[in-house]
C-alpha cells in the first residue's frame, strides 16, 4: 500500500505535523510526504501547455509527485486553516493539478487510471470555519481520482489544546488509517 501525504503546514513540528506523524506511525506500507513549504514546486502559471499535452511544462519536483499520484492507493491532505482556507503554499501545489483537469476537460482523457481513497485533516486555532478548506481539499482529491473520501478530521482549537491532546482528532486519525487499510 502506498500513501501520498500533502502537508500544507509551514511548521515542521506543529499540530498538523503531529497528526501526520500519528497517521504514519499506524499506517502500514509506504508513505511519501510532500511538504508544501519546503519542496521545490512552483505554482501553475496558466501557460496552457496541459490543454494539448500530457503533463506540465514546468519541470520541478512536481514531476515526482505526478508519478506517485499514478501509483499510490491513498492520498491525505493535511493543512492548517488560514482565513477559512488551505494554506497558500498548499494551494500553489494544488494549482499544479490543473493538468488533470485539462486532460479531462480539453483532451477528453482520463489522466489517472487507478482509483484512490482520500482523506483530509485540518488544524486551526478556532476563529475560522473548516467548510471552505475541506471543500477545496475535496476538489483536489477528486482531480487526483479519489472516489472515496473519508469524513473530515480536524482539531479546531489548537490555540488552547495541542492536536495531540485532542481526543477527537486522534480518534479521527485512527479512523483514517482503518479507512485506508480496508
Contacts 24+ apart (CB under 8 A), 130-136: 130/81, 130/84, 130/154, 130/156, 131/84, 132/84, 132/85, 133/79, 133/81, 133/84, 133/85, 133/86, 136/85, 136/86, 136/91, 136/94
pTM for this entry: 0.97
Phi-psi region of 46 (alpha: psi -120 to 50; beta: other; left: phi over 0): left
Q: Which three cell numbers stand for residue 164?
A: 495531540
Residue 16 contacts residue 163 (beta carbons within 8 Å):
yes
- How much is the mean pLDDT over the chain? 97
Residue 71 binned pLDDT confidence (cut-offs 50, 70, 90): very high
> Which residue, chain included where needed, has cell 503554499?
89
Containing domain of residue 24, as a range?
A: 2-181
Proportion of the chain above pLDDT 90, given as a percent: 97
Residue 177 binned pLDDT confidence (cut-offs 50, 70, 90): very high
pLDDT tens per residue across span 119-152: 999 999 877 789 999 999 999 999 999 999 999 9
Centroid of chain to Cα 7 = 7
Residue 54 binned pLDDT confidence (cut-offs 50, 70, 90): very high
The domain that contains 65 carries what CATH number?
A: 3.40.50.360
pLDDT tens per residue across span 34-50: 999 999 999 999 999 99
pLDDT for 128 equals 74
pLDDT for 126 equals 77
The domain tally of the chain equals 1
> Which residue, chain included where needed, has cell 500533502?
6
Residue 80 contacts residue 8 (beta carbons within 8 Å):
yes
pLDDT for 5 equals 98
pLDDT for 127 equals 76
Amino acid at each position: 500500500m502506498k500513501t501520498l501525504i500533502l502537508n500544507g503546514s509551514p511548521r515542521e513540528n506543529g499540530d498538523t505535523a503531529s497528526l501526520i506523524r500519528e497517521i504514519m506511525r499506524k499506517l502500514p506500507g509506504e508513505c511519501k510526504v510532500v511538504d508544501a513549504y519546503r519542496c521545490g514546486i512552483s505554482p501553475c502559471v496558466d501557460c496552457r501547455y496541459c490543454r494539448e499535452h500530457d503533463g506540465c511544462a514546468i519541470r520541478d519536483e512536481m514531476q515526482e509527485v505526478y508519478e506517485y499520484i499514478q501509483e499510490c492507493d491513498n492520498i491525505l491532505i493535511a493543512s492548517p486553516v488560514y482565513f477559512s482556507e488551505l494554506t497558500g503554499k498548499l494551494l500553489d501545489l494544488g494549482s499544479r493539478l490543473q493538468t488533470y483537469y485539462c486532460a479531462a476537460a480539453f483532451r477528453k482523457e482520463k489522466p489517472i487510471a487507478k482509483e484512490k481513497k482520500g482523506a483530509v485533516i485540518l488544524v486551526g486555532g478556532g476563529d475560522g470555519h473548516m467548510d471552505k478548506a475541506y471543500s477545496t481539499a475535496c476538489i483536489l482529491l477528486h482531480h487526483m481520482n479519489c472516489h472515496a473520501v473519508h469524513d473530515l478530521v480536524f482539531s479546531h482549537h489548537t490555540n488552547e489544546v495541542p492536536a495531540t491532546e485532542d481526543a477527537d482528532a486522534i480518534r479521527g486519525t485512527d479512523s483514517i488509517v482503518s479507512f485506508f487499510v480496508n
